[in-house]
Structure 1
Amino acid sequence: MTERASPTEGPAPSVFETLLRTVEEMDTPDGFKAELIRGKIIVSPWPRPRHLRRMRALREQLQAHAPDGHVAETAPFLFRFSAAERAYGPDLFVADETAFDGEGRHADGAALSLVGEFTSVSTRDADWNEKLDVYGGLVPVYLVVDMQDSEITCFRDPSPHGYRSRTTVSFGEALPLPEPFGFAIDTTGF
C-alpha cells in the first residue's frame, strides 16, 4: 500500500493564532496575567494591592460617564488586536458589553472605548511603547497611570499613525477626558 498525503481541513493556523490559543489555555497563577507582546507570551503580575484604591476610584468615575452599553472593569480579560498580532489584558478598561457575549476566551480590541494601564517597573516599557503604538491605532482613549512618576496621561484621537493628542497631569490635578466620556478625572486620591 502506498502512502499518500491526506488533505487537511483549512489552512494551518498562523503563529499569532497558535500563540493566542496557547495564552488562552494557560493556567497562570493567581495574581498574574499572560499577554502577547512583541510576538512573545509575557506573564506579568496584576497591579499591586496598593494600587487597588486608585484603580477602584478610576473605574467608578469612568463607569459613571461610560457610553451607553459600555462597562468599566478591572477584571482579567484578554483583548485581541489581530492586525497587530497582539493580545493584551489591560489593568482597567471600558468596553462595549456585547464584546463578552461570545464563547471565546478573548474579546475583540475594537470593542474598547478606553484602556488604562498602571505602570510598574516590569511593565513600564510595554505600557509606554508597545501598547501605546497598538492602542493608538484603534482605542479612542488610552490612560497611562504612571506609578513611578505620580502622573496620569490621557492619549486620545487614534489614527493609523498613533494618537494625535495627549495631556499629562500630576496626581492631585484634574485630567480632562474627551467624548464619549466628556468629564475630568479627579486624581486627588491618587
Structure 2
Amino acid sequence: MTERATPIEAESPPTFESLLGTVAEMNTPVGFKAELIRGKIVVSPFSRLRYYRPMRALREQLQAHAPDGHGADTSPFLFRFEAAERAYGPDLFVADESAFEEEGRHADGAALSLVGEFTSVSTRDADWSEKLEVYGRIVPVYLVVDMQDAEITCFWDPSPHGYRSRTTVSHGTPLTVPEPFGFALDTSGF
C-alpha cells in the first residue's frame, strides 16, 4: 500500500461576526468571561478577590472625574473593535452611556473613554501587548494596573500606531490621569 497525502476539505476560517455570535451563545462557567483575542475565543477567570478594593477605588475616582454622559463600571460587557476583529471585556471601563441604549450584546469600542486592566498571571501578556495595541488606536486612556509588579501605567494619546505617551508609578504614588479626566489618581489603596 502506498502512502500519499490526502487533502481534507476544511471550512473557511470563522468570521469576526460568527465568533461574536458564538461568544454571545456561550454558557461560560460562573466566575469566567469570554473574549476574542488574536482571533480566538479565550475564556479566563474574573479577577481575584484581593483585586476588589483597588478596582472599587479606581472606579469611584474615575466616576467622579468622568466626562459628562460617561459612566465607570466593572460589569462584564464585551466591547467590539471591528477594525481589529477583537472583542474585549475589560476589568474596568468608562464609556459613553448612550452605547448601552442599543440592542445587542456587544458595545462599540469607540464609546470607551478609558479602560483599566488589572493584570493576573493568566491575562498579563494580553493586557501588555494584544490589548495595548488595539486600545492604543482608539481608546483615549488605558490604565494597566500591574498587580504582580505593584505598578500602574497610564497610556494616552492614541494614534493609528498606538499610544504616543505613557507614565508608570508604583502603587502608593499619585498618577496623573490626562484629559478627558484631568486629575491625580490616588493609588495608596492599591
Q: TM above 0.5, one fold? A: yes
1:149 is matched by which residue type in structure 2?
Answer: D
Q: How does 1:92-107 map to 2 (within 5 A)?
A: 92-107=92-107
1:181 aligned partner: 181
* 2:16 counterpart of 1:21: no
Structural mapping, 1:78-117, within 5 Å: 78-117=78-117
User: 1:184 and 1:26 mapped to 2: Cα distance?
Assistant: 40
**How far did 1:29 drift?**
1.2
Percent identical among aligned pairs is 81
Two-structure CA RMSD over aligned residues (Å): 1.0
State the TM-score, normalizing by the size of structure 1: 0.92
Match of 1:31 in 2: 31
Aligned counterparts, 1:119-134, within 5 A: 119-134=119-134
Pairwise CA distance, 1:15: 1.0
Distance 1:61 1:22 in 2: 35
- Aligned counterparts of 1:105 and 1:23: Cα–Cα separation in 2: 10
* 2:161 is aligned with 1:161: yes
Unaligned runs of 5+ in 1: 1-13
Quick one: which amino acid aligns to residue 188 of structure 1?
Answer: S
Question: What are the superposed Cα offsets for residues 56-77 of structure 1, whole Å, 9 maximum, x if unpaired?
Answer: 0000000000000000000000
CA distance in structure 2 between the partners assigned to 1:101 and 1:30 by the alignment: 26
Q: Distance in 2 between matches of 1:79 and 1:157?
A: 20
Letter in 1 for 2:106: H
Q: What is the CA deviation profile of residues 129-170 of structure 1, one whole-angstrom value per residue up to 9, with x for unaligned ones? A: 000000000000000000000000000000000000000000
Equivalent residue pairs, number: 178
Instruction: Mark the runs of 5 or more structure 2 residues left unpaired by the alignment.
Output: 1-13
Match of 2:75 in 1: 75
- Name the SS for the 1:120 alignment partner: coil
For 1:72, what is the secondary structure of its paired residue? strand
Runs of 4+ in 1 over 3 A off after TM superposition: none
| Number of the residue aligned with 2:41 | 41
Shift of 1:16: 0.7
Q: C-alpha distance in 1, partners of 2:17/2:103? A: 16
Q: Does 1:152 align with 2:117?
A: no
Secondary structure at the aligned position of 1:152 is classed as strand
